Structures are given as structure tokens and as C-alpha cells.
Amino acid sequence: PQPLYKVTQRQLNITVQKKESGWWERLTKQEKRPLFLAPDFDRWLDESDAELELREKEEEKINKMKIESRVPKDPFKHLKKGYLVVYNLVQFLGFSWIFVNMTVRLFILGKDSFYDTFHTIADMMFFCQTLALMEILNSLIGLVRSPVIPAVIQVFGRTFILFIVLGSLEEMQSKAVVFFIFYFWSIIELFRYPFYMLSSIGIEWKPLTWLRYTTWIPLYPLGSLAEAVAIVQSIPIFSETGKFSLALPNPLNVTIQFSFLLQVYLIALFLGLFINFRHLYKQRRKHLGPKKRKMK
């Protein structure tokens, strides 16, 4: 084999591969070593050193096996993986149906599809969002490593918008903002759930990872903006109807207008967006940022 050369400012490094494996009695053919040639004893290895190094590697391997044997195996490991795969697959299929249905209707009906989105899509969205409550439980019991707070913020926020702001007011169900809320939600989940499904079985597909941690950058603010518009549009309706408001007389002897709570919720909405944005930004740096080199 051809030797490898590397020239530095101080020296010339030559790496020579032996033609036949074995131990050399000396580095040069002649017994007397040339004055310009000096061995690097930091890299020097003789038979006794090689045996010692091999023995250390074997001991390290045995110790590693002992440590692994002490760690109790989870008897429900495969069951948990199966559950996570099925859960994420069902959610992916549900949001895929929503996205495809809305896209087809948009191409066929144009802007007219904006105004009956709720009546066409709501049943599937109710199903997917109700199922999404499991994500909080998954974090709480440790099935997934995702922190609980971001999961609570997202699930609670969407549930509030879907069931309270849109689901309880017929006047809101025919507004165009419903289309944009559902559309932004579905696009985000088209990449999130497949990513989690593959991650649960130890598979990483880099294009999907990039999409998972990139598409949220424009879609999360747009989705939150659409939710805020829906809340602003619903405030006069809740004020007029008094729905969910606490009127006198009552045990608390106070009047609480639900429309006022919605105004407070608007502030909480953007605070939650900031928290989730920060969490996802850290996750993006972790998955897509430059890998740190380990020091040898």
C-alpha cells in the first residue's frame, strides 16, 4: 500500500501500512538508526502494550455488559412503542383527510369554501382534537420526552378555540377565519405526527426532520393570528348573548362577562405562542444545528 504523507510546519508525518501483520524488530533495515529519525514514544506500541490494550478493551466491554444487565428492562417497551405508532398514525391520517378535503374544496369552490368549512370539517377536527388530549397524558406519565407545559398550552389553546369560540357559536361557524385556523393546524400536523411516529421506533428521516422543525416558523404565528381574529370576532357575540357569563344573582355576588375573559385570553394566547416558539427554537437547534465535536 502507498504510504500517506502529511506535511506540517514542524515535521513530516508518514503513515506506512504493513504488508504483512507482525512485530518489527526495528524501524529501518540497517541496525543503526539514522540521526534524523526519531520515534514518537507517545505512539510507540510493542507486544506487551498491545496485549494490555486488548485486555483493557475486553474488561471495558465486560463492565459495560454488567451495567446493562443491572438496568431493569421495561416489559411494556414494545407495547408503548406500538401505542405511540398507532396514535401518531391515526392523528396523521385524520389531519391528512382534513388537509386534502379542504384543498380539494378550495380548488373546486374557491372562496365559497371558506364559509362552510366548519360544517364540512368540524366532525373530524373534533375527533382529532379530542384525541390530542392524550398528548398531555403521554408527557405526564413519561411515554414521551416532550415537556408538559408546551403540550398543555397547545392542546388547551386549540380545544378552547374549537369547542368554545367556534363550536358554541353558530354565528362564528360560517366565518372565513375558520378555514384559515383549520388549514394552518392541519399543515403543521402533516409533518409533526409522522416525525413522532418514526421517532418512536428509532427512525430519523432527515427531510422530515427539517420540515418538522422549519414549517412551524411561519405557521405557528399565522395560526395564532387566525385564532386571535376568531376571538376578536366572537367577543361582540358573547357580549350580546351573555353566553358563559356569570350574571347576578350568584353565590359569588359578582358579574363576570365572558367577553372580558376572552380579552384576557388574547394576552395569554400570545404569551403561550412565545413559550412554544422558544421551546421549538431550542428543539430546532438541537436537531438541525451544528453538531458539537467530542473532545478526545
pLDDT class of 294 with cuts at 50, 70, 90: very low
Catalytic-role residue among 20, 220, 240, 265: 220
- pLDDT per position as a tens digit, 35-90: 777 667 666 666 566 666 677 777 788 877 777 666 567 777 889 899 999 999 99
Q: Is the pLDDT of residue 173 over 80?
A: yes
Q: Please report, to the nearest 10 degrees, the dihedral formed by the alpha carbons of residues 266, 267, 270, 271 taken in order.
A: -140
**H or E, element range at 13:** strand 12-15
**Average pLDDT of every residue of the chain:** 86
Q: Mean pLDDT across the stretch 175-189? A: 96
Judge whether 56 counts as a catalytic residue: no
Residue pLDDT, tens place only, 21-36: 776 777 677 777 777 7
pLDDT for res 267: 92
Question: What is the pLDDT, as a whole number, of residue 48?
Answer: 62
* Residue of 33 and 244 predicted with greater confidence: 244
Confidence of residue 242 (pLDDT cuts 50, 70, 90): confident
Element (H, E) at 12: strand 12-15
Which of the residues 135, 183, 189, 227 is marked catalytic? Answer: 227
Active site residue 183: no
Query: How many whole angstroms separate alpha carbon 192 and alpha carbon 96?
Result: 12
Distance of alpha carbon 175 from alpha carbon 83, whole angstroms: 37
Q: Specify the 3-state DSSP secondary structure of 264.
A: helix
- pLDDT reported for residue 295: 43
Using 50, 70 and 90 to split pLDDT, how confident is the model at 13?
A: confident
In which residue are the cell numbers 416525525 written?
Answer: 195
125: left (phi over 0), alpha (psi -120 to 50) or beta: alpha
Higher pLDDT, 251 or 217: 217
